[in-house]
Structure 1
Amino acid sequence: MTVDDLTAAITDMYRSLGDRSAFDARLHPRLTIWESDAPELLDGLAALDELRDRRAADRGPGAPPTSVAPEQVRGEAWGDTGLVRYVLRARYEAGRPDDCFRVTDVLRRDERGWRIVHHHAEALR
């Protein structure tokens, strides 16, 4: 496996956004998460699902992003541990500005491939 495989795992994950099972296949079930809109460290997929549900309720009837994709992706790997840093950009219909986040993901490679064990995202304002 190369660094390209590691960064491809992140890119592929965001291509599957909207298909929760395909997206979550890139996440370790016991991952930890720091997010700008969550004041505490989130532990595991159940906590992530609660955050997703809260975001959907807070968003209301507004249109979801037209695309979400990583940019400026940089990765490093040390054996079965990897680190990927990127800007995540959510684009919307004309008239609404993009949302951007600085992201750092720590990944481990196991029998299922590269999976995120820690995700840290900070909203850029």
Structure 2
Amino acid sequence: MSNRTGGPVSNGAIDSATDAGADATAIAAGIDDMYDAFLAADRARFDRHLHAEVTTWETHLPGTAADPLGAGRLPGRRDTSGARPGLDRLAAEDKRIDVWGDTGVARYVLVAEPTGGPAQHSRVTDVLRRVGGDWLIVHHHSELLTGHG
């Protein structure tokens, strides 16, 4: 992980770069676990990384940031786009994470490799808050990159 200047993380309002580094490491591990949970079809584990009022902007989803993700995750409304493709790999790459107190921002490229198909790359920004000691995503923005890969 690095910030724009090549350092481990921006420490913003954090007094200790060590604390900021540990927080950035925890955020990165949470993002990796979230996508591992997705591959394992473990919705409960996946959802543990999301704030109850998380909002999302994604290329394939309708709505605006004012629409909580939870509204689309209710039984009967989740995955309305149809069956998900089988994925051989789903990974966050080139993570850049900054931490300011109880707020963090993670930027990365999400690589989805469907079984038998070309990899898709999305540019992702997650905004996180520390809640009860856990880093939870409060806003997720993902844009499918075309002509990449």
Report the TM-score range of the alignment, normalised by the length of the smaller protein. 0.7 to 0.9
Q: Point out where structure 2 has 5 or more consecutive residues left out of the alignment.
A: 1-21
Match of 1:54 in 2: 80
Match of 1:68 in 2: 90
Match of 2:45 in 1: 22
- Select the structure that is richer in strand: 1
- Select the structure that is richer in helix: 1
CA distance in 1, matches of 2:118, 2:27: 30
CA distance in 2, matches of 1:92, 1:47: 23
Q: Point out where structure 1 has 5 or more consecutive residues left out of the alignment.
A: none
Give the Å deviation of 1:39: 3.5
Give the Å deviation of 1:65: 1.3
- Which of structures 1 and 2 has the bigger CA Rg? 2
Q: What is the TM-score when the length of structure 1 is the normalising length? A: 0.85
What number of residue pairs does the alignment pair up?
119
Say if 2:103 is the partner of 1:81: yes
What is the Cα-based RMSD across aligned positions, in Å?
Answer: 1.7
Deviations 1:25-51 (A, max 9, x none): 00001011001112321313132453x
Which of residues 132, 140, 144 is equivalent to 1:111? 132
Which of residues 42, 46, 56 is equivalent to 1:33? 56
Say if 2:69 is the partner of 1:44: yes
CA distance in 1, matches of 2:73, 2:99: 25
Q: State the secondary structure of the residue aligned to 1:55.
A: coil
Q: What is the TM-score when the length of structure 2 is the normalising length? A: 0.73
CA distance in 2, matches of 1:73, 1:117: 18
Q: State the secondary structure of the residue aligned to 2:32.
A: helix
